[in-house]
Amino acid sequence: MYTFSSKLKTLSFILMTLGILGIGYGFYAAPKDIQEVEKLLAAESHGGHGDSNHDDASKNEHHETSSSDEKASIDKSVVVSNKGVTTADDSTKVSKENEVLVLTDLTAGREKAHVLTAEEEHTEHLTHVLHQLQNKPWSAFYVACIFFMLISLGVLAFYAIQQVAQAGWSPVLFRVMQGITAYLPIGSIIFFIFLLLCGFHLNHLFVWLDPEVVATDKLIANKAGYLNFPFWIIRAAIFLIGWNLYRYYSRKNCLAQDDANDNLFYKKNFKLSAIFLVFFIVTESIMSWDWIMSIDPHWFSTLFGWYVFSSFFVSAITTIALVTLYLKSQGALEHVNTSHIHDLAKFMFGFSVFWTYLWFSQYMLIWYANIPEEVTYYITRIEMYNLPFFGAVVMNFVFPLLILINTDFKRISWILVMAGVVILIGHYLDFFIMIMPGTVGDRWFIGISEIASVLFFLGLFIYIVFTAMTKVPLLPKRNPFIEESKHFHY
């Protein structure tokens, strides 16, 4: 039996406390009304224009940027071009000369003219910024919450695949995987509560949940048959319950198999895992539309579900590798050898490349065709999130590609830990880039809210996962492949 080291336990409590404090500060520091935003913006404009690249870009391609910003701001139901006013350099000159802003109504492709006085324009801009700033602590929490929950879901999917594939190498790691998926029930509960809070209009993460937006936005109104709160929350409940049921019964059968005289429970698990994998791939796809893609309800992409899957799946395998390495270093996994680690590292490598393949396929198809209604998604990301957007590709592709291609390196613990940490941070960034542009726009920053949310969930994750490890022996007894797995070498 593994005992939870008291140092790690203390660490997890420290992380959770720091996290809660930071999250609380994030909510406290978010502006409450327009007046505060006005002060904030005034302070910003005195302190220089912030991001200078930003200004340059808007000068050079001012037509393109303002139109893309209009699209982004229509997402938030705010009509005024956001950057056009903040940077106040040239894009506003145009609009102020005319005192008229011509806006593209994306819905019908028709042009509507809105006559706005300068003052109304200013107020609308302030409201827009206020919403973004109020969204910031919520989004930070949401990104970390969904990231950790999907990691444990990914481990569950990996575990099910190993069962169905009758893998001969992995049974010594089954208890490790089950331990990591112990986070899933608690993660799901927190996540579900968060979705409920969104539904009760405590935040503006999902614009389509706001009836005012739906009333004025034809595109979203047309999707209301799918994107409406009751249907959405019921779907979420079904998915979360389905995944958790599989986790519960699979673990139960695996433990029952230890004391059984035949392989009945093993066979049950086999069938259960096969059913789960079918359920998983359908729900995973829908989950990615519901929880991530609907943040940008004007945009859609066909391979998005796969893309999200690859992102959390590689993070999940990395997590298995890191936890295994930790337990091994504690002397808790007697039968795990460097060949098992090597196999996990190969999966980390392979799925990093798979993620890149999907990332690039999605990006390149949209870039190449350059259809305005699709391409705004990437324009906002490249213009406002340039460093994290391309940084994620470096961290999730270039770095693992160069480090993990070497066979010998795949057996060296410290190299794997280093690569694993980079991969995990990279995929956190990936989720950050999927969610943040639609909720906070150019008001993003990886500051106290974001880091604190990650720390809180990391602490919770460590606490739950390692507590679950102490409950059962870390080696399954009567798995039909356990002998093969103990002697596995590559």
Partner 1 sequence: MSNKVIYAIYNDDDILMDAVKTTRAARHHIEEVFTPFPVHGLDKAMGLAPTRLAICSFLYGCVGLAFATWMMYYIMIQDWPQDIGGKPSFSYVENMPAFVPIMFELTVFFAAHLMVITFYMRSKLWPFKQAENPDVRTTDDHFLMEVAVRDNEEELITFFQNTGAIEVKVIDKH
Which residues make up the interface to partner 1 (CB under 8 A)?
360, 363-364, 367-368, 370, 405, 407
Instruction: Give whichever of 148 and 351 is closer to partner 1, judged by the CB atom.
Output: 351
Q: What is the DSSP string of 426-475?
A: HHHHHHHHHHHHHHTGGG---SHHHHHHHHHHHHHHHHHHHHHHTTS-SS
Instruction: Give whichever of 168 and 185 is closer to partner 1, judged by the CB atom.
Output: 168
Minimum distance from CB of 405 to partner 1 (Å)? 7
Contacts 24+ apart (CB under 8 A), 260-268: 260/478, 263/478, 263/480, 266/478, 266/479, 266/480
Instruction: Give whichever of 259 and 408 is closer to partner 1, judged by the CB atom.
Output: 408
Minimum distance from CB of 406 to partner 1 (Å)? 9
Residue 103 parent element (H or E): strand 100-104
Phi-psi region of 441 (alpha: psi -120 to 50; beta: other; left: phi over 0): left
Beta bridge partners of 114: 101
Tokens of 186: 């608690």
Instruction: Give whichever of 330 and 370 is closer to partner 1, judged by the CB atom.
Output: 370
- Local structure of 356: helix, strand or coil: helix
Minimum distance from CB of 368 to partner 1 (Å)? 7
Amino acid at 240: L
Minimum distance from CB of 302 to partner 1 (Å)? 18
With CA atoms as reference, report the closest residue to 446 among 375, 380, 391, 379.
Answer: 391
Amino acid at 172: V
Minimum distance from CB of 364 to partner 1 (Å)? 4
Instruction: Give whichever of 353 and 446 is closer to partner 1, judged by the CB atom.
Output: 353
CA separation for the pair 158, 150 (Å, rounded): 12
Instruction: Give whichever of 206 and 363 is closer to partner 1, judged by the CB atom.
Output: 363
The b/e string for 84-118 (b: 16+ C-beta within 10 A; e otherwise) is bbbbeeebbeebeeeeebebeebbeeeeeeeebee
Minimum distance from CB of 429 to partner 1 (Å)? 20
Instruction: Give whichever of 231 and 360 is closer to partner 1, judged by the CB atom.
Output: 360
Instruction: Give whichever of 45 and 361 is closer to partner 1, judged by the CB atom.
Output: 361
Tokens of 16: 């959770």
Minimum distance from CB of 323 to partner 1 (Å)? 29
Integer-rounded Cα Rg, in Å, for the chain is: 24
CA distances from 73 to 80, 198, 298 (A): 7, 20, 11
Instruction: Give whichever of 177 and 358 is closer to partner 1, judged by the CB atom.
Output: 358
Q: Which residue has the tokens 């990691």?
A: 151
Minimum distance from CB of 375 to partner 1 (Å)? 12
Minimum distance from CB of 55 to partner 1 (Å)? 20
